[in-house]
Chains A and B, each alone.
Chain A
Amino acid sequence: MCLACLAFPVLAAGLFRFGEQMKRQVEIGVLYSRSGTYPVVSEASRAGVLAAIADVNADPQMPIAFVPVEYDPAGNVDNYATGCADILANSKARHIIGCVTSWSRKEVIPVLEKTGGTLWYASPYEGFEANEHVVYMHACPNQHLVPLLGYVVPKFGANGYLVGSNYIWGWETNRVARDLIADARGDVLGERYLRLGETDVSHMIAEIEATRPSFILNNLIGPSSYAFIKAYAELASRDERFGPEQCPILSCNLTEAELPVIGAFAQGHLSAGPYFRRADAEGTSGMIGSSLAASNYAAVQVLARVLAINPEATFAELPAIFAREQFDTPFGRIAIDPRTQHATVPVEIGRVSGEGFEVVQRTEAVAPDPYLSRYDRTETFGRPRLKVVS
């Protein structure tokens, strides 16, 4: 089948009941895979986009109605640039929401630079990027990894075992983790990678059993991550020193969306993110199931507000708008840094409990620092204790 045939505008009848005549219809691209190695994550992200579009279209105060133009890269990283180009060439869309992995984001950036498009990227990522054609709506390392290790080290110790999927997210996040662990006076007891989709984790589990770290940092994604969490729970059932109370698994990308797939094996382990679903929440925020849905919902809200201010806004107009506007989102009222185009978001540390997360620490409005230019060892880990030298 021709890949271009996969792009089609979805016009849902009845979406524009409120003020239909007054609303200007605006096409936006949606670039999420509906199959492949991480469909659970991309479906949660896509659901956030579609929910927000429905809400924007139903909002009588909002002068625009969005028409999604979807392209499904089917989990193949080589299809993202094609899909991005297809949307920009065959529709009026100038803004695209999508991409889960950094690999796919880096694939579409050259297309955006050539055509003047903007990607609204709503997944946690490893930082060290600030492209003017991308708006970064989820957390970067100073909003996930740094506070997560700052929370964990005093409680569990500073010796880490690092695992990751074999691409840029795992490599770069673990690279920053190595530095943070050294700053916390700890040791990296092991570091292992699996190719995307690989589920044989026995080697990692054997090394963890042998080295007995204080915590495990998990940068695996999709089925590799689920297999690892399950195998580690089996290790804990044989040896309680590997239970979440003694040696937790830490993730910077684990959300409610994946808990049903993992089942009870994730209980007690920790994750950092800008949002965890409140069981008791009411209204819109109660409906949003995870930080992935929340950040995608937020991206659509911010874009709607931007286009309400300037219907023709493209990447070139964004910094000026971000410099003076704030935006109401599921994260609360947020700003977007006009220099880096990263969102200021809350930072929550959540412990898996039942079907969701219990928030054990929350910090409001953490400004983005994608290059960790303002990272301060003392602020994160406290002053090093002086050793007595005799």
Chain B
Amino acid sequence: MSRATRIPNLGGARAFVLHRPHATGAAILRQLAAIGLDAVDCWPELPAEALGADFVFFDADLGFDEQFPWAPGEAPMPTIALIGSEAPGRIEWALSQKADAQLLKPVGNSGVYSALLIARQSFEERRSLADEIVALRARVAERQTIVRAVTALAAQGATDDRAYAQLRSLAMSWQVSMEEAARRIVAMTDEGDEHSDHA
């Protein structure tokens, strides 16, 4: 995890601003250029190269799902919603895109820098949480494998507690996770059963 304070190196980062030609877009492009980003404005669609962008600003007032080359809420980079109208339907749509930060219109001389930093941190936190959830789900899914491995080891005559401790020490000596060690034991047991079936 990076330290809390860090010179935010935004130089050369690429940003797309998805907004119809308007003073708001111009104000954002000016601020982005001053901060040192390469910024491109586009409307009504994000071009394919936006998939490689570091930030995307999008208009919450006139935006719609088909503008984006990704499913709603699955942008692969930090996004910032540009909110003018506070009509509940528009806010609902902006929320469905899971924007990492917001900027209220009209945009003047400031706001873009803090939006960039907030969006980046919030996106990174969201992504690391999502990664952690995937890893935890995988471990939960392996519970059955661990139960089968412990049962197989217990079948050799050990108690359940002892079989579990044995699985842990095997995982340590193989330098793999408990789940991986359990998978190996289950595979060996299955193999043994196959051999005995053929005997």
Contact = CB atoms under 8 A, between A and B. Distances in A.
Given A339-B34, A371-B8, A371-B34, 16 more contacts: A128-B113, A130-B35, A132-B109, A178-B5, A179-B6, A179-B7, A339-B33, A340-B34, A369-B36, A371-B11, A371-B113, A373-B9, A373-B10, A373-B11, A375-B7, A375-B11
Interface residues of B, number: 20
A370 B33 CA distance: 12
Contacts of A370: 34
Given A373-B35, A374-B36, A176 B7 contact: yes
Interface in A348-376: 369-375
Nearest to A175: B5
25 contacts: A130-B34, A131-B109, A132-B30, A180-B7, A182-B3, A339-B33, A339-B34, A340-B34, A369-B36, A370-B34, A371-B10, A371-B11, A371-B35, A371-B36, A371-B113, A372-B7, A372-B8, A373-B9, A373-B12, A373-B36, A373-B37, A374-B11, A374-B36, A375-B7, A375-B11
A172 to B, nearest CB: 11
Interface in A296-336: none
A176 B34 CA distance: 19
A36 B187 CA distance: 81
Interface of chain B, main secondary structure: loop
Interface of A: 109, 113, 128, 130-133, 175-176, 178-180, 182, 339-340, 369-375
Contacts of B12: 373
Contacts of B122: none
Contacts of A175: 5
Contacts of B108: 113
Contacts of B35: 130, 371, 373
B99 to A, nearest CB: 22
Nearest to A375: B7
Given A176-B7, A179-B6, A371-B10, A113 B109 contact: yes
Interface string B3-27: 1011111111000000000000000
A370 B110 CA distance: 14
B9 to A, nearest CB: 7
Interface in B66-83: none
Nearest to A340: B34
Nearest to A369: B36
A179 B9 CA distance: 12
Nearest to A371: B35
**Residue in B3, B9, B35, B36 whose Cβ sees the most chain A Cβ within 10 Å:** B36
Contacts of A340: 34
A199 to B, nearest CB: 29
A255 to B, nearest CB: 26
B26 to A, nearest CB: 11
